[in-house]
Amino acid sequence: MSPEFSEQTKKKIKEVISRYPRMEASLLPVLHLTQQEFGYLPEEAERAVAKMLRIKPVRVREAVTFYTMLHSQKKGKYHIQVCSNLTCSILGAEKLIDYLRNKLKIEPGETTADSKFTLSTVECLGACEAAPCMQINFDYYGNLDKKRIDSILESLD
């Protein structure tokens, strides 16, 4: 079964492909758009992308399993990605990760039962001036402490 892309995404994909001298070079942007559409990259979506770009499905699988931002598995509505690299660790990231584990009752890599939150630890997010920091979906949050984490999570419905 091939997944249904919305007309809008189909249009965007077509436009993105046209920016590259070779079709297969648009693989990452097309996968970003596909993941945006379905929330993750199920096998059928991988195959649909391969067909669109006229490449073998294994090429798409290779990319999906290589890049940390591409997911074969469904994530929670909010994907909390806490930096565990050096600057953030110096400024207390580990305590915050423990705090989130206890608060959400999940381990890094897991999703809450209501599918609202997925918790991950990630390498440097490139926002060290605001360490400790995290990214929720694509939004950055810096200068974190427990109180700020509480209020950020409360603001998400």
Partner 1 sequence: MKEKILTKNFGLKNSFKIDVYLEKKGYTAVRKALKEMTPEQILDEVKKANLRGRGGAGFPAGVKWSFVPDVDKPKYLCANADEGEPGTFKDRYIMAHDPHLLIEGVIITCFCVGIHHAFIYIRGEYEAVALRLEQAISEAYEKGFLGKNILKTGFKLDITVHRGAGAYICGEETGLLESLEGKRGYPRLKPPFPASIGLFQCPTVINNVETLSNVPAIILKGADWFCQQGLPGDGGTRIFGVSGMVKNPGIYELPVGTSLRDIIFKHAGGMKEGKTLKAVIPGGMSAPILRADEIDLKMDFDSLVEAKSMLGSAAIIVIDEETPILEVLKAVAKFYSHESCGQCTPCRIGTSWINKIVKRLVQGKGEQEDLKAILRLANNILGKTLCPLGDAAAMPISSIVEKFNDELESSLIQ
Q: Are strands 117-122 and 78-83 parallel, antiparallel or unpaired?
A: parallel
CB of 125 to partner 1, least distance (A): 6
Residue (of 76, 2, 92) closest to 42 by Cα position: 2
Residue (of 97, 99, 101, 98) closest to 110 by Cα position: 101
- Contact status, residue 69 vs residue 135, Cβ threshold 8 Å: no
Positions of E strands within 5-129? 78-83, 117-122
| Member of 7, 22, 114, 157 binding partner 1 (CB under 8 A) | 22
Q: Which is nearer to partner 1, 90 or 156 (by Cβ)?
A: 90
Our finding on whether 152 is near partner 1 (CB under 8 A) is: no
Candidates 1-9, 84-92, 100-108, 145-153: pick the segment binding partner 1 (CB under 8 A): 84-92
Query: Which residues does residue 122 pair with via DSSP β-bridges, in sequence order?
Result: 83
Could you say which residues in the range 106-135 bind partner 1, by CB under 8 A? Answer: 123-131, 135
Our finding on whether 147 is near partner 1 (CB under 8 A) is: no
Query: Which residues does residue 79 pair with via DSSP β-bridges, in sequence order?
Result: 118
Helix, strand or coil, per DSSP, at residue 76 = coil
| Member of 10, 12, 59, 77 binding partner 1 (CB under 8 A) | 59
Q: How many residues appear in the chain?
A: 157
Q: Which is nearer to partner 1, 75 or 103 (by Cβ)?
A: 75
CA dist 15 to 26, 55, 76, Å? 10, 18, 29
How many residues touch partner 1 (CB under 8 A)? Answer: 41
Our finding on whether 15 is near partner 1 (CB under 8 A) is: no
Point out which residues bind partner 1 (CB under 8 A).
19-22, 24-29, 31-32, 53, 55, 59, 62-63, 66-70, 84-87, 89-91, 123-131, 135, 138, 140
